[in-house]
Amino acid sequence: MTRTLSRPTATALSVTALASLALTSCGLDDTLDTSADGEPSTAVTISADDAAHDDAAASEDGSADAGGSETSRPEDDASAEGEGTDPSDDTATDAAAETSPADSDDHPLYGGLETVQAEYPEGVVFEVESDDGRYEWHVLVDGIEREVHTDKSSLEIVYTEDDDAPDSDDLREIDSTEIDIAEAFRIVEDRVGDPSGAFVDEAQLDSESGTVVWEIELDNGQEIAVDVVTGDLVQVDD
């Protein structure tokens, strides 16, 4: 069955449709209102609260990135600078150096002997005698006996004099020595410990019952004989 709308009804429907289309068109124009060049004419506005929120977020991101690197603390730096530099250690070392006993090598006896041996490296020292501020050394050099004086203060050679060649007995004793005069001094030093400042006053080669010895007399009058081959003490006279 065909149904026919009356004119007033059709007119009402047309008005309603047109109004609906007009409203739709208005909403699209408000949403996409553009200028003549095709760009949106409505400005985008960011509120102050939104900007503050963005800044806070950026600050938190920066703090997180910085947290990955290690930073030194003042107390750590102070500990690093002070490590291994305890001034009390240096003080203790200096005090020990000042109170330690002098080495026996500083004695003018050894210093003078070193001077003579440096001057005559091929010579053989076979006798020495203390005389006031000097030591008188007797050295076998090129087959002759040379007397050499060294100053006890400067340790320098201050006098030399050539004598005749040693006799056959002296040469035999010199040839038989395996322990030189410097080693004999040290053996005596170990034995007596240089008591009361006593040290060598005189030393020479000699024979005791067929044994060649270094006969050494100390400042305090004590006499000690050292075997020139074994280094043994064969005689100690107090």
pLDDT in tens, 184-194: 999 998 888 76
What pLDDT score was predicted for residue 191? 83
Which residue, among 200, 206, 158, has the nearest Cα to 182 in the 3D structure?
200
Q: For 6-25, write each residue's pLDDT tens digit.
A: 444 444 444 444 444 444 44
Token pair listed for 110: 């050894």
What pLDDT score was predicted for residue 192? 80
* Residue of higher predicted confidence among 34 and 222: 222
Evaluated on CA atoms 112, 114, 115, 121, the torsion sign reads: positive
d(CA 88, CA 95): 10
| Secondary structure letter of residue 106 according to DSSP | G
pLDDT band at 224 (very low <50, low <70, confident <90, very high): very high
d(CA 135, CA 152): 7
Q: Are 219 and 201 in contact (CB under 8 A)?
A: yes
Q: Are 198 and 218 in contact (CB under 8 A)?
A: yes
* Residue of higher predicted confidence among 24 and 151: 151
Q: For 48-77, write each residue's pLDDT tens digit.
A: 455 444 554 444 554 444 444 444 454 455
* Residue of higher predicted confidence among 65 and 195: 195
pLDDT at residue 115 is higher than 60: yes
